[in-house]
Amino acid sequence: MRIANVIVIKEGIVDSIDSFGVYEEQLSQDVVQKAEELFTEKCLEWGADEDDMNIYLEEGYYAGGNFSVCLSWSEIC
């Protein structure tokens, strides 16, 4: 099973982790879309420019000052 994680780090400490499990292939796009929507929401909340969101989504990372928002993938074997 694959897991998409939206991680917010403030001042070097993990502030929140929201995880989305991908159980079945036909549902995977729905799960990815929800994870990307949350990542976008968190980035905008922290001051990201909406015009640059495609870049942040592609990199899976947005940072500034003393915070970062990450979109990462992990697997459970």
Contact between 73 and 7 (Cβ < 8 Å): no
Cite the DSSP H helix spans in the chain: 25-45, 53-59
Per-residue confidence at 27, pLDDT binned at 50, 70, 90?
low
Q: What is the mean pLDDT of residues 10-37?
A: 88
- Taking alpha carbons only, the member of 77, 76, 31, 40 closest to residue 58 is 40
The model's pTM = 0.89
